[in-house]
Amino acid sequence: MAKTTATHVKKLTKKLLEFQGHGLKQYGKYLDDQLKKAGDKKSKQAYVKYLNAQVIQNDKRVKKLKDKIKGL
């Protein structure tokens, strides 16, 4: 089995984080789409509140990942 070097591990870690970041960006687009579909309907107020909380949480995750990638 080949030896793993620190640069190899760093490279793979960066790829993984970029992949996760792409997934979070896609999730953010999905949330935005769902917010547009929900609109201002009274029956969807709880769902809109949930979606807004998810958007905020997703933005925090994306920022955290970007900071991790910069730190590598």
Query: What is the domain partition of the chain in residue ranges?
Result: 6-71
pLDDT tens digits, 16-60: 999 999 999 999 999 999 999 988 888 889 999 999 999 999 999
38 vs 24: CA distance, rounded Å = 21
Give the chain's count of helices (H) and strands (E).
2, 0
Q: Provide the pLDDT confidence category of residue 1 given band limits of 50, 70 and 90.
A: low
Predicted pLDDT at 40? 81
C-alpha span between 61 and 37 (Å, rounded): 24
| pLDDT for residue 42 | 85
Q: What is the pTM of this model?
A: 0.82
